[in-house]
Structure 1
Amino acid sequence: MTQTASMSQNGARGLVRGGALDVLRFVAALFIVLYHVAERAPVSLFALHPALSRGYLGTDFFLMLSGYVLARTYGERVLSGGVGTGEFLKRRMLRIWPAHLVMLVVFVAFVLGTAAIGLAPQNPQWFQWSQLLPQVFLVQAWFVPGISGWNMPTWTLSALIVCYAGFPAAWRLTAKVRSPWTTLAVGVAIFLAVDYAALAATGIPGHQLPLRFGLVRGIPLFVLGMLVARMPTTIPSRLADGLAIAAGLGVFALQALGRFDHASLALLSLLIYAAGASGAKGSAWASLAGRLSFSLFLTNQLVAVVWFGAQRAAAARFGFDATMLWLTWALALPACVAGAWLFERLVDTPLQAWIKRWSRREAAVPAPASEPIAA
């Protein structure tokens, strides 16, 4: 996503590449990875403290952050007509779908390769061929029945595609309401209504629904983040930084005290707002962390499968004691980060560079006289 440090026309402070939001995105991605591997520890982390079982809040944070960043990045261009709905959706699809498809091909090749040499997956229910096609086209969160296996985290991309398609129209609609507080209140009301309706219908609140109900879970959270982006960001930088620190500490404190999901989501919204309003300068390390978060999101599932498969084989061969089991489990986190770095450097960045060159060549070709030129 293109982020700038400029001031928008309404005086709002622009997003900074390598700023606080990139750092938060990476930290949240690491927490989600920890959540995914928690039960692979010698003793399940979920049994050590209930807070470690609330990794779903990290995913909810990502969904809100997506709405916020897209609104801050594209909002003015959508209102001015600088980017249309079709063009916007095309850009978002070209950003996420090619890398997703490459990773899915690698995943399938790995499963087929290990099966060919007689190695069965530890959890074969996650690799059902009937679930592969919905993942290819990123529709697995559109109420597709069955267990959404393979590269499971991509259910959020499946939900976000619908959010992307509706974003330009939703942003134009909310812009007609002068008060950002009014639109935010409506967004909160919609979120709570969906949350409690899901709880009444399924026994599970909306923000925790299973992956195949990703649209119900994802759209209200995306809208919340989008509406937070309407709030004025002209507050002093020190106040924004203080609010961000207080909100972050508040989220951790709540998890230690018990399960307070709605309060936690409110604080995460405040954290996004404050980090977006921060005037802190960007850094190269934070920018790298932000880029790695997408690759970490795409690759962590496969890296974990490979890592823990190797761990099981090594433990059986060499007879690991408890200390060695914990050590090799803990090393899975840096292994996932290393895998994400390799994917970002060797796959995602070159792939996006090629797509940009292809897009420029396509734009340079004149449209036939019988067809209108897209805006």
Structure 2
Amino acid sequence: MTDIRSSRIECLDGLRALAAIWVLVGHCLLLTGWSVPILGEPDLGVDLFIMLSGFLMVFHYNLRQDKEPWQRPATWLKFWTRRYFRIAPLFYVMLFVALALGPYLYDCRTVIDDFLLRSHQAPERYLDSGVKNIVAHLLFLFGLVPNLAYRTPLPDWSLGLEMQFYAVFPAVMLLVRWLGWERSAVLVAAAGCAIVFAMGRLSVHFPMPSFLPLKMQIFLCGMLLAGVVHQSRPRPILYLALALLLAALPFGGGYGLGKLLVREALVAGFFALVLYRMLPGAAGTLARAIATTLSNRFFHLMGELSFSIYLIHLLVLQPVAAFVIDQYGHGLAAPLRFAIVVAVVLPTVTLLSWITYNLIEVPGQKAGRFVVRRFGRRTGPVLKTTPAE
């Protein structure tokens, strides 16, 4: 069997880019009234982002474990510092931009909802500039509270979810070191299921799946794939089967046969693109060609901009969609309305994302690396764990 442990993972930039474009296009479809299967489901694009996050955290964990042993609490602090500076700088800037534009964006969304004969969005999602809401978002605690989890004009519910994943990630990896991948994945997923069941019994409902137990199974799908990559004797079929079972758990978003099949296809496709060297014949050749294409310069750039695209796109999309609807209304067929909106929104968001990436994201990442170097020189005690056989 081909050893892939030291190989470059070609497709990751392209998959990040596709996830961001999927979310943007899906929201364009929803806000222009044109229904297109799969593309019109932006939550599935978010699931792809989540799988990628689970994969990347484990992948980087394995790359750094010799230099930064994860039995050391100091390594956890370095990990949390890097992740905070990766997300927080751009999020904080866009949070205050979104809150400042809140009344205007709410008016735009009202125009859209009236035209599409939909119920209006909750006003507090656009208009709540209270201290409690702002502090909860600055501390990334909003995803834990149903009333605050979906309370800004940004699609930031997934960022609160992401931060919760980062918080528990060191503990999960220590569990993997102790019990192995299969038992750890089952145990963590079972704990998530138990919490979700208890939430149902207590009538605790989140407007979006911003609470980690609702999406932990999707993170685990990506983590399992990364677990295959760094094993000396990988068992991809077993891990793929387990990931497919986890992706089928019926909570954490809209479910139904169609969405189930797409989620299963995302998991299987992700495995195939990363592990194409293990695939035989034509399947391996096709997967390699797709993975190589997803690593070209265009996809690399769009992958780098993917976080900015995700965070910014609704701030541009809603005014553009409201303007097109207000000016042309039913004079345009839904596909043409969609095409006009995408033609304006996609390049505008890409340009703004390139600016924010260079002015905010890159300096933020450099600041994180500086903090790690400056304050992370002391190593601290090592926690003793026994690796699973």
Which TM-score applies when normalising by structure 1? 0.71
Q: Of 207, 211, 214, which aligns to 1:214?
A: 211
Q: Structure 1: which 5+ residue stretches go unaligned?
A: 1-9, 248-257, 367-371
The aligned runs of 1:214-293 (5 Å cut-off) are: 214-232=211-229, 259-278=257-276, 282-293=295-306
Alignment partners' CA distance in 2, 1:27 and 1:168:
28
User: 3-state DSSP class of the match of 2:151?
Assistant: coil
Corresponding letter in the other structure for 2:8:
V
AA matched with 1:342: I
The structure-2 alpha-carbon separation of the partners of 1:35 and 1:176, relative to structure 1 and needing over 3 Å to count, comes to same
Matches within 5 A, 1:54-203: 54-75=41-62, 77-78=64-65, 81-82=68-69, 84-111=75-102, 120-123=107-110, 124-127=123-126, 128-130=128-130, 131-145=133-147, 148-178=150-180, 180-184=181-185, 186=187
Aligned residues: 325
CA contact (8 A) 2:144 2:211 kept: yes
Aligned to 1:330: 342
Name the amino acid aligned to 1:60: D
Q: Secondary structure at the match of 1:73?
A: helix
> Residue type matched to 1:63 in 2?
I
Alpha-carbon distance between aligned partners in 1 of 2:264 and 2:187, rounded to the nearest angstrom: 14
Deviation at 1:13, TM superposition (A): 2.9
The answer to whether the 8 A contact 2:150-2:208 is kept is: yes
Superposed displacement of residue 274, structure 1: 2.5
Per-residue deviation, residues 287-338 of structure 1 (Å, max 9, x unmatched)? 212111111111112122343354456x17xx89416744432322343333
Instruction: Please list every run of 5 or more consecutive structure 2 residues that lacks an aligned counterpart in the other structure.
Output: 111-122, 245-255, 278-287, 382-389
**Following the alignment from structure 2 to structure 1, what is the Cα–Cα distance between the partners of residues 204 and 38?**
20
Quote the Cα distance in structure 2 between the aligned partners of 1:164 and 1:334: 32
Deviation at 1:224, TM superposition (A): 3.2
* Amino acid aligned to 2:125: W
User: Relative to structure 1, is the Cα distance of residues 265 and 189 closer, same or farther in structure 2, using a 3 angstrom cutoff?
Assistant: farther
Contact 2:309–2:353 under 8 Å retained in 1: yes
Higher-RCO chain (CA-CA 8 Å, sequence separation at least 6):
2
Task: Provide TM-score, normalisation by structure 2.
Answer: 0.68
Q: Which residue is 2:21 aligned to?
A: 30
1-structure distance, mates of 2:204, 2:37: 19
**Cα drift, residue 215 of structure 1:** 2.2
Q: What does the per-residue CA deviation read over 1:222-271, in whole Å, with 9 as the maximum and x for residues that have no partner?
A: 23322332125789xxx99xx9xxx9xxxxxxxxxx73444433332222
Contact kept, 8 Å, 2:55 with 2:225, in 1: the verdict is: yes
Cα separation, 1, equivalents of 2:56 and 2:195: 23
1:197–1:63 Cα change, 3 Å: farther
Alpha-carbon contact 1:107-1:302 (below 8 Å) kept: yes
**Amino-acid identity (%):** 22
User: 2:247 aligns to what?
Assistant: none
Question: Pick from 9, 13, 17: which aligns with 2:5?
Answer: 13
